[in-house]
Amino acid sequence: MIIFYVQVIKKDYVFTIYKKIKVNDKIVIIASDIIVNTLKQEWFKNSAEFNKNIYILTNFKGDVVFTTFNIDLVINEQYRFYNVIKEIEKRNTKVGLIHDKYSISPKYGIFYLYDKSNHFVSMVAVPLSVINGSFNRLFLYYLIIIIILALIVGIIYYNEKKHKDKIDFSNNIINIVGSPYYLILCINIKKDRYIRIKCSEDIIKFIPADDSYSNINKLISMVVEKGTLLDFTEAFSIENIRKLTESDKVDFGGDFQYILMEGYKWINIRLLYDKAVEKDYAVLCFKERDIEKNENLSI
């Protein structure tokens, strides 16, 4: 156990550490006194001067037992620690920080350890200017981080927008190039599959968006004029497309007639392929040529 008291004659602050033990069925008390004034404040002096903190030890009432500051000056301001202890007791927390509103200048923030098991309250008084300075530095660090992150986000957004604008521009150019064609199919050469890229409204219900190329080839063959049917089926079969695309680049096709209710019409079919762009895909394009073909035939 530990008790604290003030000697009546010398007015010294004393810790008494004692323990009851049993010896030969008798209770014996072993005690030792520690006089606070004999503790060397020089042990803390350099540290206190360096970081401007004040270390204080009080009992649960607020009586100052030890401090690295001027003990006489602290004792003269004893009533302030009574108020500090009352505020700590109201909080009912073991560890915390309170603002010392009782001192005049400079103002301190008091970090405390309030542990009833050791009978004392440990305090470290830190100037609020130091605490606020640390807060300001921390705020500045976070502000710099936020600015850096904002710049990174801005750069990413700019690059994404620039990339999107480039894609939109490329798509517009592709739309211009593809505008004469009423049907464009992208063919997966290896898998014998196609994806519908473009299709006019009058035939879209007959052309699935994604299907076997051999199936759509048979469907188109049904409307091709019989005189050129063999040429069409041989030229645009998946087997011939695979053979043609063994070359690095392909621009292959011709004019064919297909049957409508009102008669025959000419179309131009072209197979386009570039291994450097996409080695597994070719593009099949269909364009009406009826007016141009009839004008040429009439000459």
**Distance (Å, whole) CA 267 – CA 292:** 10
The share of the chain scoring above pLDDT 70, in percent, equals: 68
Is the fold of 39-132 the same as that of 180-298? yes
- What pLDDT sits at residue 185? 93
**Distance (Å, whole) CA 246 – CA 235:** 15
pLDDT at 10 over 60: yes
pLDDT at 158 over 80: yes
Q: Confidence band (pLDDT; 50, 70, 90) for 102?
A: low
pLDDT at 49 over 60: no
Q: Confidence band (pLDDT; 50, 70, 90) for 47?
A: very low
- Neighbour-count burial of 9, counting CB atoms closer than 10 A to its CB (0-12 exposed, 13-18 middle, 19+ buried): exposed
Write the single-letter amino acid at 34. Answer: I
- Indicate the domain borders of the chain: 39-132, 180-298
CATH architecture label of 39-132? 2-Layer Sandwich (3.30)
CB within 8 Å of 70: residues ≥ 6 apart = none
pTM: 0.47
Category of 24 on φ-ψ map: left (φ > 0), alpha (ψ -120 to 50) or beta: left
- What pLDDT sits at residue 194? 94
The mean pLDDT value for 258-286 works out to 87
pLDDT at 169 over 90: no
Write the single-letter amino acid at 126. Answer: V
pLDDT at 201 over 80: yes
CB within 8 Å of 248: residues ≥ 6 apart = 274, 275, 276
The mean pLDDT value for 167-193 works out to 87
Alpha helix ranges (H) inside the chain: 42-51, 71-76, 78-91, 128-178, 213-221, 226-235, 238-244, 290-298
- What pLDDT sits at residue 266? 87
**Distance (Å, whole) CA 195 – CA 199:** 11
Cβ proximity of 195 and 185 under 8 Å: yes
| CB-facing half-sphere around the CA of 8: CA atoms within 13 A | 0
Sign, CA torsion 269/190/208/201 = negative
Element (H, E) at 197: strand 193-199
CATH of region 180-298, choose from 3.30.300.30, 3.30.450.310, 3.40.50.2300, 1.10.3720.10: 3.30.450.310
Mean pLDDT of the chain: 77
